Amino acid sequence: MFLTKILASRKIAAVASALIFLTTAGAGIGYASLVKDINLSVDGEVTEIRGFHDTVGDVLAAEGIEIGQHDTVSPAPEAKVKDGQDVIVRYGRELRV
Q: pLDDT per residue over 3-52, tens digit each? A: 566 556 777 777 777 778 777 767 666 655 678 999 999 999 999 999 99
| CATH number, domain containing residue 46 | 3.10.20.90
Q: Which residue has the higher pLDDT, 30 or 68?
A: 68
- How far is CA 50 from each of CA 17, 19, 33, 36, 68, rounded to the nearest angstrom? 32, 30, 12, 6, 24
Q: How far apart are CA 86 and CA 73, in angstroms?
A: 11
The larger pLDDT score, comparing residue 72 to residue 22, is at: 72
Residue ranges making up the domain that contains 28: 1-34
Same domain (yes/no): 52, 25? no
Task: Kindly state the average pLDDT of the residues 59-67.
Answer: 94
**Is pLDDT above 70 for 83?**
yes
